Chain A
Amino acid sequence: MSEQRVGVYVCHCGHNIAGTVDVEHVAEWSANLPNVVISRDNKFMCASTGQEQIEEDIKEFDLTHVVVASCSPHMHEKTFRNACARAGLNPYLFEMANIREHASWVHASDKDGATNKAKSLVSAAVHRVIHQEPLQPMQVDIRPETLVVGGGIAGIQTALEIADAGYHVYLVEREPSIGGHMAMFDKTFPTLDCSACILTPKMFDAGSHPHITLLSYSEVEQVDGYVGNFTVRVRRKARHVDEDLCTGCGSCWEKCPIKVIDTVFEAGLGSRKAIYRPFPQAVPKYPIIDVENCTYYKSGKCRMCEKVCPTEAIRFDQEDEILEVEVGNIVLATGFQLFDPRRIPNYGYGRLENVFTNLEFERLSNAAGPTEGKIVLRDGVTEPESVAIVHCVGSRDKNYNSHCSAICCMASLKFAHLVMEKTGAKVYNFYIDMRSISKGYEEFYHRIMEEGASFIRGKVSEITDAAHTPEEEGKLILVCEDTLIGRPRRVPVDMVILSAGLEPRADAQEVGYMFGAGCGDTGFFTERHPKLDPVATVTEGVFIAGACQGAKDIPDSVAQGAAAAARVLATISKKQVNLEPVRAEIDESRCSGCRICNNMCPYHAIDFIEADGVSRVNPALCKGCGTCVAACPSQVINGAHFTFDQLIAEIDGIMVDVTAGALEVV
């Protein structure tokens, strides 16, 4: 190893670090570490003066490596890497010691301890950095096409933004029509405009846009490749209708003799036929045959739809089609699923007939729904005289989901308004806290209070039909503690609406795995940074938008959809993208082909080369996570920037006795 000349810079971060860690002492002490030629402290290393200091020193002291002891690398690693690069030093010859999050902030009450820890961390970085090697980023071309997965409002928004900019989008939707949950809703809060009225023009645009290929009733089965060059296999499930011939006239479903309860769009309250279009404004307009219920697929008879179709578009023998599309970027907008209130048996959903879910209520209240907008009890005729709306069902509850579902407060207020407007019933809201944080929401809350809705602060413990008094006979009784008056209450009503929370989709984990997007502990997809990078994932070229990232309302979903589109458009317009050189490489001369690593890679970057009997890492797919490096039992996978030598040196460095004068490895 030729002569190493390390520069060390210890940051005060104002009082953030210097308030606890003796920064000057750490800098003085570090000057005696091996290979260190200059060690300084500075009020704010990230400020231009701090960065310029590094640049000047690299030139003046001919530094070969740089260590900055400051905050988390998430915060400023890029900043200092760039400073090194400006002075002609390869940015990967820089190492960061995190003495803020790892020392000053977590040991605020122990100044000596924090200072010693800071010294250990600097020592680790100094020992490690001399083993670091210059690395070069890899450039790859970006295909201009984009895949958007999920045709709810977030996905539609993303697709339209990108398509309007002139780039092609494949919009994949699992259901027969795009529109998602928003298409099922009656009104939207807080403006109370009709959900369908504002959504359907966008659905129509998405369905007819020259730059959008709409793949409805389709699912992504496999994703290969990397940013700029993904190959995606999509299964187009058979509609059993020839889309080129079908005009969507409706003769088939009018004449179809089989009635099926519609558990998807009508939430089980209405019915559809065995050949059906989910709702009148569906995009695309073509029906599908439900082969589970269609007589033809059971007995080979009927064929009524075929007989009445004026364009002979029915195709009983149609099969699923596999399509491969090549895209440069992917946006996941797979949305949410509603919490199933059956999981809270004491709320009686499914047992007490007049307990409804929020989605059932949306359909009841919707003019295009099964009751044509009449709010009635399960018997289909009786108007309720009193209605209870239970907030936070399955949300903010350690037993189910600890997160806040974000939309329920406002949706519950909307339900209160609709009930009062349409029935004149007395409305009780059972809430834990009211959260009305977005624009116009607090005003909406006041409006509903002024309209006469009652608000009871307390978590409902039980909904029962067991009456204690004559007034409770024949009613549903909500039992709770009213925490504002500090005593238990029983409130008898005719109808209960459960504001079930938003959950990650049941298959979010598998979908995430397929696309290289992880799920956090709540099960929603994890963004690269919760504040500063909310629509990117850890996989380059894979973005997330809408409620698949976390519970959110329509405006936020639309904003994220547009944000994801902007990120995609930015990558497309760059035409090329630099990939981090921190990645794994297999020494094929020493690989014995045991294949332990083969299914380790979360990014599918490892292939087994049968002919050579070795495994190989695709460098464009590798994210440098190190999983395979650790797994390899013969240690022939090298993780660039996290090599074995670097890690051992780092451990050696951290074992230096910082309390003694001598710098001996203990």
Chain B
Amino acid sequence: MSDKKGKLGLYWASSCGGCEIAVLALHEKILDVAAAFDIVFWPCVMDFKYEDVEALEDGEIDVCLFNGAIRNDENAHMAHVLRQKSKVLVAFGACSFGGSMPGLANFTDKDAMFDWIYKQSPSTDNPQGTLPQKHSQVPEGELTLPNFWRTVKTLAQIVPVDYYLPGCPPEAHQIEAAVTAIVTGQLPPPGSVIGPDVTVCDECSRTKNEKKIKHFYRPQEIIPDPDVCLLEQGLFCAGIGTRSGCGALCPQVGMGCRGCYGPNEGVLDHGAKILTGIASVLDANTPEEVDKILDTLPDPAGYFYRFHLPQSLLRRRALGNGQKQTAKTGEAT
């Protein structure tokens, strides 16, 4: 990179905002970022309009950190715009990498979700049963909402992505390392996940033994031995199949890894990998015993696919009536 200050863009698509906070968690290092880059787009923090970024030259942004999953036309539009305007597009955080929490919507569909959120949920008071509309007339004129997809996608399923920085959110030291790598030009091959290719177990100081699981417990049910692998104690831990880099924060404090850093290199389906790993060590000899043990694990699909359902081989729950989703928008045809 030349002496000239680079241009940095940050954007949030379907996300919670935690990734933005993670950038701010760089603390004083954010000044180094500011020193190296002009921030040309960061809607969460500064007042930019879409027209501003659309007005940029193609490739004018040196690095764009894009967080959030793609679940509506607006997300997708900005993904295309930022791809066009950026030299390096980084899928930042678990949502843009794997779909994450928004992606769990792929276990259901748009209609069922709207029905619950806007009609059925106990905290909703909507006697007219009003649902969000793409177009609605108000005295001031027509309001529009972006088209809401029935299937949540990852950033890489919409546009080509140069690098992935996983985590929910990515840890500050990794953001720093990634930014440093970009600034100094010491980048791994394009398409790489930035971070070590070992699992959370590698950073977890708990003692690992041969495993046999007879029963799963929820965190509130037992006080785990502080020195022994949580999984061996029956606490679900996705650390066995999840990329390290976080410093094993959760398991170190007695909470099983949730899997936010996603799968290791070459794994096509994070959930399936953790599932086979855990299924392999169930202490059962008959299908009935397997069922009995798995009955103690509530919401297994949610546990195994918490962060990577849209990116997995499964993608989503099958759509009924032989419907297929269109490749681009995920809308039912």
Which A residues lie at the B interface, using CB under 8 A? 590-600, 608, 613, 627, 630-636, 644, 648
Q: Which of B208, B209, B268, B276 contacts A633 (CB 8 A)?
A: B276
- Contact between chains at A592 and B202 (CB < 8 Å): yes
Knowing A594-B239, A634-B241, the reply to whether A644 touches B276 (Cβ < 8 A) is no
**B266 near A633: Cβ-Cβ < 8 Å:** no
- CB-CB under 8 A from B265, the residues of chain A are 590, 635
Closest to A631 in B: B280
Tell me the complex Cα distance, A591–B211, Å: 16
CA distance A592 to B209 in the complex (A): 13
Complex Cα distance, B212 from A612, in Å, reads: 22
Whether A633 pairs with B199 at a CB distance below 8 angstroms is yes
Residue on A nearest B273 in the bound complex, by CB: A633
Determine how close the nearest CB of chain A comes to the CB of B198; give it in whole angstroms: 5
User: Is B197 interfacial (CB 8 A cutoff)?
Assistant: yes
A613–B263 Cα distance when bound, in Å, is 20
**Contact indicator B202/A593 (Cβ below 8 Å):** yes
Quick one: given A600-B280, A634-B198, A634-B240, are A590 and B264 in contact (CB under 8 Å)?
yes
Cβ–Cβ < 8 Å partners of A596 in chain B: 211, 240, 277-278, 280-281
Give bound CA distance, A592 to B277, whole Å.
13
- Across the interface, do B273 and A635 meet the contact criterion of CB distance under 8 Å? yes
Does A633 lie within 8 Å of B240, measured CB to CB? yes
B267 in contact (CB, < 8 A): yes
- Kindly state whether residue B274 has any CB partner on chain A within 8 Å: yes
Q: Which 5 pairs of residues, A with B, have the shortest CB-CB distance?
A: A633-B241, A633-B277, A631-B280, A592-B202, A592-B201
Given known pairs A594-B208, A595-B209, A595-B211, the reply for A633 and B281 (CB within 8 Å) is no
Task: Determine if B225 is an interface residue (Cβ-Cβ < 8 Å).
Answer: no
- Across the interface, do B201 and A593 meet the contact criterion of CB distance under 8 Å? yes
> For residue B211, which residues in chain A have a CB less than 8 angstroms away from its CB?
595-596, 598-599
User: Is A634 within 8 A of B199, CB to CB?
Assistant: yes
**Across the two chains, which residue of chain B brings its CB closest to A596?**
B277
Within the complex, what minimum Cβ distance (angstroms) separates B270 from chain A?
A: 9
Which residues of B lie under 8 Å from residue A598 when comparing CB positions? 210-211
Q: A664 to chain B: closest CB distance in Å?
A: 15
Task: Report the bound CA distance from A599 to B265 in whole Å.
Answer: 24
Q: How many residues of B contact A (CB 8 A)?
A: 29
Binding site for A on B (CB under 8 A): 197-202, 208-212, 229, 239-241, 244, 263-268, 273-274, 276-278, 280-281
B240 CB contacts on chain A under 8 angstroms? 592, 594, 596, 633-634
Query: Distance in Å from the Cβ of A258 to the closest Cβ of chain B?
Result: 41
The winner among A594, A597, A630, A636 for most chain B CB atoms within 10 A is: A594
Return the chain B residue nearest A606 by Cβ: B210
A587 nearest CB neighbor, chain B only:
B197
19 A-B contacts, Cβ less than 8 Å apart? A592-B199, A592-B200, A593-B201, A593-B202, A594-B239, A595-B210, A595-B211, A596-B211, A596-B278, A599-B210, A599-B212, A600-B280, A613-B202, A630-B276, A633-B277, A634-B267, A634-B273, A635-B265, A636-B264
Beyond known contacts A631-B280, A633-B274: 19 more, CB 8 A cutoff: A591-B198, A592-B200, A592-B201, A592-B202, A593-B202, A593-B208, A594-B239, A595-B208, A595-B211, A596-B240, A596-B278, A596-B281, A599-B281, A600-B280, A613-B202, A631-B276, A633-B276, A634-B263, A635-B265
Q: Tell me, in angstroms, the Cα distance from A608 to B229 when the chains sit together.
A: 15
CA distance A597 to B229 in the complex (A): 15
Query: In the complex, A46→B200 CA distance in Å?
Result: 51
List A contacts of B277 (CB < 8 A). Answer: 594, 596, 631-633
Out of B198, B212, B263, B274, which one reaches A592, CB within 8 Å? B198
Inter-chain contacts of B273 with A (CB < 8 A): 633-635
Chain A residues near B278: list those with CB within 8 A.
596, 633
CA distance A606 to B279 in the complex (A): 18
Are A590's CB and B210's CB within 8 A?
Answer: no
Residues of B within 8 Å of A636, CB to CB, are 264
A159 to B280, CA, bound (A): 39
What is the bound-complex CA distance between A590 and B211, given in angstroms? Answer: 20
